[in-house]
Structure 1
Amino acid sequence: MALPWALAVLSLLPLLCAQSPECANFTAKPITNVTLDWLSGKWFYIASIFRHPEFNQSAKKVRAAFFYFAPNQTEDKIYTREYQTIGDHCIYSSTHLLVQRQNGTVVRKENDTEVHAHLLLSKNPRTFMLSFFPEDKQKMGIAIYSDKPLLREEQLNEFHEVMECMGMHKSEIIPTDEKKDQCGPLEKQHEEEQKKEQEGAKEE
């Protein structure tokens, strides 16, 4: 499943700009080492719209989610640690995304199937969006991520603008709720284990 699989890169913007003058406000940037550095760190999955039936059903099950990106510039990969709250349970997973710099996409392999995502870099700091199947009205999707669990008004407005450029409606939005997160204790446990490992490595 390719939900908050936190990934990144671009190519939808030229399409959006052709559809509406409002979309020209977004600035497309190539994927560079600077972009990958910017993506490094913790992100919260805020909301999405998925018309792909499988993605839509999966998104509705996620009550809250956050993840960590650790890009490797030489390998063109982004290593991820993902924490999703499904129902009352925390589901943890780790994987990596393949960065395709030339066509501006990030790819995640799902059981011999490749899922591609396009990155929209936001005008607002510490926010980005991912689009899926932008050319297919029946399958298209858009998701927004932020370094804070709640969006400011201008960030939310930008999400709505991109969504409308794609021909999607606010009624289709599937939100998450950080208050329902069940992964905080596991995240803290992982942080403590990592700290002990680092301290042990220093002693050696």
Structure 2
Amino acid sequence: MALSWALAALSLLPLLDAQSPVCVSLTATPITNATLEQISGKWFYIASAFREPEFNQSSRTIHSAYFYFALNHTDDTMLLTEYLTIGNRCIYNSSYLKVQRKNGTVSKDESGKEVFADLLLTKDPKIFMLGFSLKDEQNKGLSFYADKPEVTEEQMRVFHEAIRCIGMQKSEISYTDAKKDLCGPLEKEHKEGRPEEKEGDTALG
């Protein structure tokens, strides 16, 4: 009887997961103008977990990162300007993301290949996530962003719950550290000079 009870309890776990508010939010929904307004501005890259080898390796080299989304409603694109601290360098890059409103996804050209991500909003407008190939066991991934360089315990709990929902482990997560940021001077220079945005990157070391 004990074994049958345990098996019955285990069989209910997927149902419990499905009812979790966080798990439910891991489904992309159509993107509206309000959605785009919500994610415009400055965001900090907090953490991620990737099984796709290239993404996994790349994410683990980033010590600190933040970026800006600037919207263009007329052609459904977003200008992405990134400030990445990798090793002892600040790397600046700008590119464009395409917005697929109906599918709830955004995409970016990576080395000639268009990479898609589900835009995953939560009840907290100060955080959001991007989901990558969530149904692909070998290549799934989830990245976590916040409007401040440090998040609350509750906000981090939302991400950890999401990681559990997609069948990944907390041990697979790599975290950033805002204290290691080296891009402050460059960002300040850009704000003061307001240079014309161009695609490419700049490395300072």
* TM-score, length of structure 1 as denominator length: 0.83
Matches within 5 A, 1:143-158: 143-158=143-158
Matches within 5 A, 1:67-106: 67-106=67-106
Q: Which moved more, 1:17-26 or 1:54-63?
A: 17-26
Taking the aligned partners of 1:57 and 1:121, their CA distance within structure 2 comes to 26
Taking the aligned partners of 2:86 and 2:25, their CA distance within structure 1 comes to 33
SS in 2 for 1:187: helix
**Which residue of the partner structure matches residue 178 of structure 1?**
178
State the identity %: 53
Max radius of gyration: which structure? 2
Taking the aligned partners of 1:166 and 1:24, their CA distance within structure 2 comes to 8
Taking the aligned partners of 1:62 and 1:101, their CA distance within structure 2 comes to 29
* TM-score, length of structure 2 as denominator length: 0.83
**Which residue of the partner structure matches residue 38 of structure 1?**
38
Q: Which amino acid aligns with 1:77?
A: T
**Which residue of the partner structure matches residue 125 of structure 2?**
125
* Residue pair 2:48, 2:141 contacting (<8 A) in 1 also: yes
Matches within 5 A, 1:38-77: 38-77=38-77
Structure 1 residue 25 displacement after superposition: 5.5
Q: Which amino acid aligns with 1:21?
A: Q
SS in 2 for 1:70: strand
Taking the aligned partners of 1:105 and 1:169, their CA distance within structure 2 comes to 24
CA 54–24 in structure 1, closer or farther in 2 if over 3 Å, else same: closer
1:107 counterpart = 2:73: no
SS in 1 for 2:60: helix
Q: Deviations over 1:54-93 (max 9, x none)?
A: 0000001000000000011111001011000000100000
* Residue pair 1:39, 1:71 contacting (<8 A) in 2 also: no
Structure 1: gaps spanning 5 or more residues: 1-15, 196-204
* Residue pair 2:46, 2:176 contacting (<8 A) in 1 also: yes
Residues matched between the structures, number: 180
Q: Which amino acid aligns with 2:25?
A: F
**Which residue of the partner structure matches residue 203 of structure 2?**
none
Q: Deviations over 1:147-180 (max 9, x none)?
A: 0001111111111111101001111110000000
Structure 2: gaps spanning 5 or more residues: 1-13, 196-205
* Residue pair 2:23, 2:162 contacting (<8 A) in 1 also: no
